[in-house]
Amino acid sequence: MTNTISKIPNNFQNRDSVAWQKLCEYVELIAKNGSDEFVPKEYLGDELFSQIYTLPKSISKLKRVKKIGLYGSNLKRIPPEIGEMESLEYFDPYGSYDLNWLPYEITNCKNLKDSRISTRALYGNYKNRKGFPRLNHNPVKYTSDIINCSICKREMSFIDNSQYWITLGVATDIVPLLVNVCSDSCKKSLPKPPEDYVQHPHRGGSDLKQPDMDEWDYIEKNYKKVTISDEPKEEKKNSPGKLPIIKLIRKIWEK
C-alpha cells in the first residue's frame, strides 16, 4: 500500500476559457439534438480538451446519452449531476490518470452496465491501495454553497454537509465514491462495500487501514475459475492434474 496521499484540488477549472465555453456549448448541442453519445474531445479538439479538468453541471440535461467517452482526458473530477443522466449505459474515462474518484451520484444511473476506468489511479484500488485524502482537512468544494445530500437529495449549505469516502461497485469496476450526507440516518443507509475494501464510510487520512492484498491474490480470488489440463475430458474435475489457469500463470511468472 502506498503511503503517499495527494491533496484534493479545488478551483482548478478556468471557467472563462475558450475551452470551457466550447465544452458548455457542446453540452447544449448534445442536449438539443438528442444524441446518445457524449465525446467532447471530438468537438473541442486535442488542445482545448486538454484544458478541461471537470464537466459542467449542465450534463444533467443529457437525458438520452448512453455513452460518455472521455479517453485520455486531464479530468480531475466528475460532477454529481452525472447521476441525472438516466440513459447512461457506458462510462469510459480510460487513460484519465488524474481522475482518482467519482461522485456517489453515479450510482443513480440505473442503466449503467459497462465502464472502462484506469483503476490504478483510483484511491484504495487493490492494485496499489492508494491513500485517501483526509476530507475533514481538505474537503471537496463546489461552485455553489448550496449542495444536495447524495442520499435523500435534500438541499443543504456546504457547512452543514458531511463528506465521506465509500468504495462500491459501479458498472464493471469497483471505485471510490465521494458522498455528501446531511444526517447520520443518510450515512447509515449507505450500502456495504465489497469484500477486500474498507467496510464502512470514512474520511480518509494516513491512519486509515486498508485491507492487505497483492494484485495476484485479488485476481486469484475474483477471476473466473478457468482450469486447464492435459487429461481427457472424461476425467473427474477434481483430478490432481488440473490447475486453475491463473495459478499456473502465476507459477510461470514467479519463475
Q: What is the pLDDT of residues 141-178, one digit of tens each?
A: 999 999 999 999 999 999 999 999 999 999 999 999 99
Residue in the block written with cell 474531445? 41
CB-based contact 73:95 (threshold 8 Å): yes
**Cα–Cα separations (whole angstroms), residue 134 to 73, 86, 137, 202:** 25, 31, 6, 9
Grid cell listed for 60: 444533467
What is the pLDDT, as a whole number, of residue 167? 98
23 Ramachandran zone, left/alpha/beta (phi>0; psi -120 to 50): alpha
What is the pLDDT, as a whole number, of residue 255? 42
pLDDT tens, position by position, 179-212: 999 999 999 999 999 999 999 999 999 999 999 8
Tell me, yes or no, whether 158 and 233 share the same domain. no
Tell me, yes or no, whether 138 and 159 share the same domain. yes
What is the pLDDT, as a whole number, of residue 97? 96
Identify whether 10 is part of a domain: no
Tell me, yes or no, whether 155 and 236 share the same domain. no
What is the pLDDT, as a whole number, of residue 55? 98
Residue in the block written with cell 435523500? 152
Identify whether 216 is part of a domain: no
Tell me, yes or no, whether 242 and 145 share the same domain. no
Give the global pTM.
Answer: 0.83
Identify whether 3 is part of a domain: no
pLDDT tens, position by position, 72-116: 999 999 999 999 999 999 999 999 999 999 999 999 999 999 999
How large is the average pLDDT for residues 241-249? 50
Domain count across the chain: 2
Tell me, yes or no, whether 110 and 186 share the same domain. yes
| Cα dihedral across residues 16, 18, 23, 29: positive or negative | positive
**Cα–Cα separations (whole angstroms), residue 65 to 40, 58, 107, 189:** 13, 13, 16, 29
The chain-wide mean pLDDT, for the chain, equals 87
Tell me, yes or no, whether 206 and 227 share the same domain. no
Tell me, yes or no, whether 234 and 166 share the same domain. no
Tell me, yes or no, whether 204 and 240 share the same domain. no
Identify whether 78 is part of a domain: yes
How large is the average pLDDT for residues 227-235? 44
Taking the C-alpha atoms of residue 135 and residue 199, their distance in angstroms, rounded to an integer, is 17
* Sequence-separated (6 or more) residues with CB below 8 Å from residue 141: 10, 11, 158
Identify whether 13 is part of a domain: no
Tell me, yes or no, whether 248 and 130 share the same domain. no
164 pairs with which residues across the strands? 179
Tell me, yes or no, whether 154 and 241 share the same domain. no
Identify whether 200 is part of a domain: yes
Identify whether 176 is part of a domain: yes
Identify whether 199 is part of a domain: yes
* Whether residue 231 has pLDDT greater than 50: no
Please report which confidence band the pLDDT of residue 67 belongs to, taking 50, 70 and 90 as the band edges. Answer: very high
**Whole domain around residue 83: which residue ranges?**
18-210
